Amino acid sequence: MEALGGLERGQLLLIAVGVALLGYIYTILSSPLARIPGPWYTLWTETILKYKVVTGQRPQWVHSLHEKYGTVVRISPKEVSIQDQNAVQQIYQVKGEFLKSPFYEIFLPGIKSIFNTTDVNFHRRHRRLLASEMSESGLALHRPTVETKVRMAIEGMAEEMEKRGATDVCRWALYMATDVIGELSFGSSFRMLETKEENQYTRDLKTIAFAGGLRSTFPFLMKITRYVPLPVLSTGMRIRDRMRGYATQSLARHYKLVEEQGQDAKHTLLSKLYRASEDDQDTLPFDELCEDAMAYIAAGSDTTTNTLTYLIWTLCKRPDVKAKLLAELSTLPDGFTDLDLKKLPYLDHVIQETLRLYSAAPSGLPRVVPQGGATLAGHYIPGGYTVSAQAYSVHRNPAVYPEPLKFDPSRWENPTRAMKDAFVPFGGGSRICIGLHLAKMELRLATARFFTRFPNATVSHLEGFTDEDMVPAMFFLMGPKSQRCLIDAH
């Protein structure tokens, strides 16, 4: 009888397991995303997606799925990637009905800034207060600073060329972008262009995107690392803390200077928000300003660096494109400024095409489908699920951009409506990158100054440098996997 009872208990356990398994299978197969095209395994697990993220292959992998399954593809049990430009406009519309997913808060834990907040009211207030200084008119005051940093970078390249036989434009672009955003945010730069050497700050910049992507992909690891330090995540948290320290210390120095000098203190992108005045009562608490400043220095360095690096490298490999740009640059007056550069159509087309093929943020920007669901590119997706559009795929849609892999600035001479709608290197809608006008100013000035100074520049093969070095590593941001780009700038 006892043996019989044990057998019955065993059978009951098997039945229970079987019922649970069938219930799981039914739940998966009845999922609303079961009707979305995609590999069978993406309906059952997000393991493959996570693996692609941590190995820097997410954009290429998702794009391969779009090439196989179409403009709408399931990439995990809870997320769908969209390549259709009309759906892109719907997801990232200014009305902001598709809110940022929790991905952003995990990306930079313990920080609430204009970049990563999912709080609509917090973002709206910060955007309203910060946007005027980052607008084209607001940046007019800072043109001389940007010009000075660009010229210093070009001189640094020339000096390195004489000593080394090649110049690493990736390194100088990082020093330039870092010093620009530092000076504009805090009234003094990180002096990368003066010291001309890598320090802890630049090493942190190169790692922060990877660490953030890892946290966002495996949020449960954040809980584990409190008790068992995990090397990469622990390093990532230390980097976050150091970045916060850079921002806090730098902002505090300038904050004190403004208290002492008043209106005579150097104006920055943030200083008008330090304290209220008779003309403007709006301010932000110091701790909130620090978080936004941290977002500025993190987002304003690597992005411009990588875009400028790929632009120079591509033109040095395309003498036909470079010759056309040089012809346009030759029409500039001797003392040209950014205002002159804004009038050059081909320069703008070169920058547009670089942003299309080498978007600094190539991965999907996740949004949560609003309550009630949404129909995107003919597919209904219920509320609460995640949708994203990645610039890497949207910019390579052959239905929108013929010969999408060809670097062809002339395609922007008469862009179609679809091309404009699909162009999202800075994101879109109310959460579009607040620094886009500054980035374009830096790109215009650096490109013009580089090619007027080095019209015969070509790709160098010094120290074994090849095109393989420029293969992109794609974590949250895109950059050359070797983190170098050697150019013969004679």
- The amino acid present at 147, given as its one-letter code, is E
CB 286 within 8 A of CB 255: yes
d(CA 354, CA 173) in angstroms, rounded, equals 15
In single-letter form, the type of residue at position 226 comes to R
SS3 79: strand
For residue 24, being part of any structural domain is answered with: no
Q: Is residue 10 part of a domain?
A: no
What dihedral do alpha carbons 297, 300, 303, 305 form, nearest 10°? -90
What predicted TM-score, i.e. pTM, was given to this entire model?
0.88
Beta bridge mates, 367: 100, 387
Q: How far is CA 381 from CA 39, 95, 278, in A?
A: 17, 19, 50
| Residue reference for tokens 């150091």 | 242
Q: String of b and e for 223-259 (b: at least 16 CB within 10 Å)?
A: eebeeeeeeebeebbebbeebbebbbebbeebbebbe
Q: 423 vs 20, 130, 405, 450, CA distance in Å?
A: 46, 24, 15, 26
Pairing of strands 386-388, 374-376: unpaired
Q: Which long-range contacts (CB under 8 A, 24 or more apart) does 218-226 make?
A: 218/50, 218/54, 219/106, 222/106, 222/109
- Using an 8 Å Cβ cutoff, are 48 and 77 in contact? no
Q: For residue 479, what is the enclosing H or E element?
A: strand 478-480
Per-residue pLDDT of the chain in tens (490 residues, 90 and over written 9): 555 455 566 666 666 566 555 554 544 565 889 999 999 999 989 889 988 887 889 999 999 999 999 999 999 999 999 999 999 999 998 776 898 887 777 666 667 888 888 888 888 888 888 888 899 999 999 999 999 999 999 999 999 999 999 999 999 999 999 999 989 988 888 888 998 877 777 777 766 666 666 655 666 555 666 655 656 556 667 777 787 888 888 888 888 888 777 777 788 888 878 765 555 567 788 888 888 888 888 778 888 999 999 999 999 999 999 999 999 999 999 999 999 999 999 999 999 999 999 998 899 889 999 999 999 999 999 999 999 999 999 999 999 999 999 999 999 999 999 999 999 999 888 888 889 999 999 999 999 999 999 999 999 999 999 999 999 988 878 889 999 999 998 8
Q: Which two tokens stand for residue 378?
A: 């003919």
**Does a structural domain hold residue 435?**
yes
- Give the DSSP H or E segment for 255: helix 231-261
Residue 426 lies in a domain: yes
Task: Decide: 245 and 264 in contact? Cβ < 8 Å.
Answer: no
| Helix 319-329 vs helix 302-317: crossing angle, to nearest 10 | 110
List the domain range (segments joined by +) for residue 483.
31-488
Q: Pick the closest to residue 183 from 215, 135, 148 (CA basis).
A: 148
Q: H helices then E strands: how many in the chain? A: 20, 12
**Is 14 part of any domain?**
no
Judged on CB neighbours under 10 Å (0-12, 13-18, 19+), 447 is buried
Say which residue the tokens 């909130």 belong to: 288
Structure tokens at 136: 């084209």
What Rg do the C-alpha atoms of the chain give, in angstroms? 25
The SS3 assignment for 373 reads: coil
How far is 82 from 205, CA to CA, in rounded Å? 30
- Residues 199 and 176: their CA atoms lie apart, in Å, by 14
Domain annotation covers residue 333? yes
Distance CA 256, CA 261 (A): 9
Count how many domains the chain has.
Answer: 1
Residue 111's CATH number: 1.10.630.10
Q: Which two tokens stand for residue 309?
A: 């690096």
Answer yes or no: is 6 within a domain.
no
